[in-house]
Structure 1
Amino acid sequence: MSENLKLLGAYSDAMAAGDEEAVFSFFAPDFHTHVAERVNPDVIGTDIRGEELRWWTEVRSAFPDMAFTVDLLIEHDDLVVSNWTVKGTHTGTPFYGVAASGKPVEINGTAILRIRDGKIVEHWGGPHCQDGVGLTH
């Protein structure tokens, strides 16, 4: 297994274990996400690791029984594509403006990550539910 896939596996394990603070050791300080332009444009040009931490903290707060899995990994040069799923019951805080329903929720997303010198430096993609539509099924 390549070093990039090992890195992403370790990051995924940390997120699955609830270690949201791990974003600071896996992401480079100059990490750039192309998602910010449509989700949170105020953070463009800043150290965005705090925003990644905030997202994971919000997910864990909304879905206390959250399970995070990586469904598919594809690697090409310094890029890794990850298709992932978060499953849980929406019994916690509101998520993307949707109040807790007590129903099971499945959030699927795809991330394309550029890795350099053992750190995640660039990101495209994200959850396929940015506006909260289709959170419950």
Structure 2
Amino acid sequence: MTPDPITVIQNFIQEVNESPKVDFVENYLSTDFRAHGSAGELDGKTDRDKVKDFLEDLREGLSDLSVRVLVEFSKEELVATVSEYSGIHDKGPLWGVAATGNSISFLAIGINKVKDGRVVEHWGLFDSAALASQLASGDEIN
């Protein structure tokens, strides 16, 4: 039986928190997956690869990476989430900024369209201004 859309997204976020590698992405995103918004800015790659790159960048720069869902709801095949990403910027560079050793957190909003147990489309934005400010100053912004 195919899991309901909200369960698919909950399982994906659990994998983000628990899996040491990002290969799990292929279990959740369809082969024709399309991303719109923040994840759509990297040229020359499939949208699934863009999601992997985003998660790999976070894992390479942050220890204790955690994604906490603050708000979640669904209607039919759409699932909306507001999540907080957090970690310690001490493992390595993150988007060109050398490790600072500081705690960072930022919010992300995502709407995912799920069909047959896989995400086929994603619209999302993350608070890149808060993240950039924390990387530049080392101050946590909430």
List aligned pairs for 1:15-30, cutoff 5 A.
15-18=16-19, 19-30=21-32
Unaligned runs of 5+ in 1: none
Match for residue 96 of structure 2?
97
Percent of matched pairs sharing the same residue? 20
Unaligned runs of 5+ in 2: none
After superposing the two structures, state which structure 1 stretch, 115-124 or 125-134, moved more.
125-134
Q: Please say if residues 40 and 50 of structure 2, whose CA atoms lie closer than 8 Å, have aligned partners that are also in contact.
A: no
Q: Please say if residues 72 and 81 of structure 2, whose CA atoms lie closer than 8 Å, have aligned partners that are also in contact.
A: yes
The SS at the match of 2:23 is helix
Counterpart amino acid of 1:22? F
Counterpart amino acid of 1:82? T
Aligned-pair RMSD on alpha carbons?
2.1
**Is the alpha carbon distance of 1:94 and 1:70 closer, same or farther for their aligned partners in structure 2, counting shifts above 3 Å?**
same
Per-residue deviation, residues 4-55 of structure 1 (Å, max 9, x unmatched): 1111111111111035211100000000001268621433xx3x21221111
Match for residue 87 of structure 2?
88
Aligned length: 133
Q: Please say if residues 96 and 131 of structure 1, whose CA atoms lie closer than 8 Å, have aligned partners that are also in contact.
A: no
Per-residue deviation, residues 37-95 of structure 1 (Å, max 9, x unmatched): 8621433xx3x212211111110111122122111111122111111111111102222
Counterpart amino acid of 1:97? G
Match for residue 40 of structure 1?
42
Counterpart amino acid of 1:3? D
Counterpart amino acid of 2:77? D
Deviation at 1:96, TM superposition (A): 2.3
Distance (whole Å) between structure 1 residues aligned to residue 115 and residue 50 of structure 2 = 20
Counterpart amino acid of 2:13? S
Q: Please say if residues 97 and 132 of structure 1, whose CA atoms lie closer than 8 Å, have aligned partners that are also in contact.
A: no
Distance (whole Å) between structure 2 residues aligned to residue 37 and residue 87 of structure 1 = 18
Distance (whole Å) between structure 1 residues aligned to residue 102 and residue 130 of structure 2 = 18
Output the TM-score relative to the length of structure 2. 0.83
